[in-house]
Amino acid sequence: MFRATLLATAALFASGCTTMDSAQEAPVERSAMVSPILTTPDAVDDQTYAQPQVARVTHVALDLDLDFDAKMIGGGAVLDILAKDDAKQIVLDSNGLRIDRVTDGQGNSLPFTIGEAEEGKGAPLTIQLNGARQLRIAYRSAPDADALQWLTPEQTAGGKYPYLFSQGQAILNRTWIPTQDSPGIRQTWEARITAPKPLDVVMSGVRQGEPEDLGNGRRAFRFVMDKPVPPYLIAIAAGDIDFRATGPRTGVWAEPATLDRAYNEVADTEQLVEAAEELYGDYRWGRYDMIVLPPSFPYGGMENPVMTFLTPTFIAGDRSNNGLVAHELAHSWSGNLVTNAVWGDGWLNEGVTSYFENRIVEKVYGKSRAEQEAALSYANIIETLDEVGYDAPGTALHNEGDGELIGSAIAYDKGHFFLRTVERAVGRERFDAWLRQWFDNHAFQPATSQMIYDDMLANLVTSPAEAKQLKLREWIFEPGLPGNVAKPDPAAFATVDTAVTAYAANGTIPTGWSGWTAAEQMRFLDNIPKERTAAQLAALNDALGLSETGNNEVLFLWLELALANRYEPAVPQAEVFLSEIGRAKFVRPLFAVLWDQGDWGRPIAKRIYAETRDGYHAVTRAGVDRLMAAD
């Protein structure tokens, strides 16, 4: 394999990491599978410079070195190309990459240019093919590549070794991999990664054997993903991490200091996989492993194939937040197996997955918990629509990219309730048969909203009258919430809602709090009156122990309520929380609450952010930066 070595010398670390003892180390044969490219107007991705109808990438082979001192990944990428006979050039995506040279399969130099960059999108990397169908690119990432977060030892649980992780969705992988970075251009891939001892490397591909000791203080790790995936799902993490199996095909990686807690939280993962398979067919990726990352990871989880990335903030000690694991697992069918061709159809990824997640939760943890979690999801829809308007264009499931501005309530929650509504109307047995065939017939392929709509008409709906009753087009292509929505059962939170009413009326604090589920506690905090005095907040905290909770979802709601009421005793805890956690779901709203408090909150927000900004991933920083700029 082509190689351009970035590092002349490597930092030396003492040995100490354990290796993985699991089936993931078995060699994998490279697949010749090539996924189709969709060419309809609604499948044209405006977030890529690629012209896949002319020339497209089908396979990526990476040979890269991790340089923790320079905060840089460098080496080579070999791209297999499928192109029209008369194709003169191929266009790749690049954002900050430093391209040293490009050659063909025989080592002949190929001319290339990097065009003008657009904010957030990067620049087109145009390579003259000269008949080549394989490209070899020598390159380096920039030290500030948005997909990559380099952590110092002090930013890890162990405090002894550095750490690296990537986050590629939606279009960040072009900051460390030169390829066509579009969800509709699926690619197989392989990688050889070198890292300083004793760090272990994991990727979203199947590991090939034990790491190779290079004799220079470094080891090489090899990975293969023999199924075509959207390029945003190529992911890497490296650090002082150990592995523990949770079943014959499942397990978890984490820092040694975190591993026991992580394992105990996800110990029923094999049961989740079995439940998912019973619902919608075989798990097609071989292994399902997870890595619990340092708390600066910007999301709850990321569904990278064979290696789900998870935030440690979901660990509550009682598996009450394991809907997150069910969600990332469900992506193995919706999102990873069948992928939205463009980001304006992201609900095909997140909405279908959110519905699937709830079905897994029901199967493993019971109907009561599933109904409570669905009710929280529904409340998120209503709260968002009340805020932005029921006719706001971005509240349609299919949109032109505006959905990101609305937040998760549309792609995730409205998408969930769309499928829930259809299932309730046609019956679970019929619906499940349809959804399973959707996954089977579109496996390893991109899809659009129009495609799933047409598929419902062809394979689910039995008559024009039923199609009208289901309001399929209204759900997918129009804003707001259709009137036929299958609302959650009011009984799911009957006890909690009664407690909310009592508290709002006369300040009665519930006595059964410690026996409530996490969903019930969240429902209560999210629905009590938002304007509270310092005395009322102190009484609530004293009675319920909110500041002492081990569930970060509940703690976040408490801090949000307290800061919105300028409750001074909560400020030190909020400062600790924001300094230790980088999950955007928590970080941005808390800074927003402080920012909304004007002369009281803005100085606090500025002070905390000045201390914490450098510890956040680029995804989290971008959201808070926009907030701070809106002065």
**Do the beta carbons of residue 39 and residue 56 sit within 8 Å?**
no
pLDDT at 124: 98
Say yes or no to pLDDT of 405 above 90: no
Say yes or no to pLDDT of 230 above 70: yes
Say yes or no to pLDDT of 402 above 50: no
pLDDT at 319: 94
Instruction: State the virtual CA torsion across 570, 575, 581, 584 in degrees, nearest 10.
Output: 80
pLDDT at 98: 98
Report CA-CA distances (Å) from 543 to 40, 316, 567, 590. Answer: 59, 20, 17, 23
- Residue 400: pLDDT band (50, 70, 90) is confident
| Per-residue tokens: 184 | 């509709």
pLDDT in tens, 250-280: 999 999 999 999 999 999 999 999 999 999 9
Neighbours of 402 (CB within 10 A): 14
pLDDT in tens, 604-622: 999 999 999 999 999 999 9
- Residue 384: pLDDT band (50, 70, 90) is very high
Say yes or no to pLDDT of 21 above 90: no
Give me the percent of the chain exceeding a pLDDT of 90: 92
- Residue 406: pLDDT band (50, 70, 90) is low
Say yes or no to pLDDT of 602 above 50: yes
Say yes or no to pLDDT of 13 above 50: no
| Per-residue tokens: 456 | 């419902």
Say yes or no to pLDDT of 99 above 90: yes
Say yes or no to pLDDT of 27 above 90: no
Q: What are the beta bridge partners of residue 202?
A: 237
Say yes or no to pLDDT of 521 above 70: yes
- Which residue from 177, 183, 176, 180 is spatially nearest to 56, judged by alpha carbons? 180
pLDDT at 401: 56
pLDDT in tens, 33-49: 899 999 999 999 999 99
pLDDT at 629: 87
pLDDT in tens, 74-85: 999 999 999 999
**Do the beta carbons of residue 463 and residue 426 sit within 8 Å?**
no
Q: Say which residues have a Cβ less than 8 Å from residue 209's Cβ, sequence separation at least 6.
A: 25, 27, 222
pLDDT in tens, 279-308: 999 999 999 999 999 999 999 999 999 999
Say yes or no to pLDDT of 25 above 60: no
**Do the beta carbons of residue 456 and residue 418 sit within 8 Å?**
no
Find the distance separating the first CA and the last CA of the chain, reported in whole Å: 52
**Do the beta carbons of residue 141 and residue 152 sit within 8 Å?**
no
Distance CA 527, CA 167 (A): 33
Q: Say which residues have a Cβ less than 8 Å from residue 599's Cβ, sequence separation at least 6.
A: none
| DSSP code for 344 | G
Say yes or no to pLDDT of 14 above 50: no
| DSSP code for 613 | G
pLDDT at 268: 96
Which of 481 and 18 is assigned the larger pLDDT?
A: 481
Q: Say which residues have a Cβ less than 8 Å from residue 345's Cβ, sequence separation at least 6.
A: 42, 397, 398, 447, 448, 449
3-state percent breakdown (helix, strand, coil) of the chain, nearest 5: 45, 20, 35
Say yes or no to pLDDT of 31 above 80: no
**Mean pLDDT, residues 344-354:** 97
Task: Considering only CA atoms, give the Rg of the chain.
Answer: 25
- Residue 20: pLDDT band (50, 70, 90) is very low
pLDDT at 17: 39
pLDDT at 22: 44
Distance CA 461, CA 468 (A): 10
> Residue 144, SS3?
coil
Distance CA 615, CA 73 (A): 19
| Per-residue tokens: 505 | 């009326």
Average pLDDT, the chain: 93
pLDDT at 5: 30
Say yes or no to pLDDT of 561 above 70: yes
Least confident stretch, 446-450, 462-466, 555-559: 462-466
Question: Strand locations in 295-404, DSSP E?
Answer: 301-302, 307-310, 338-340
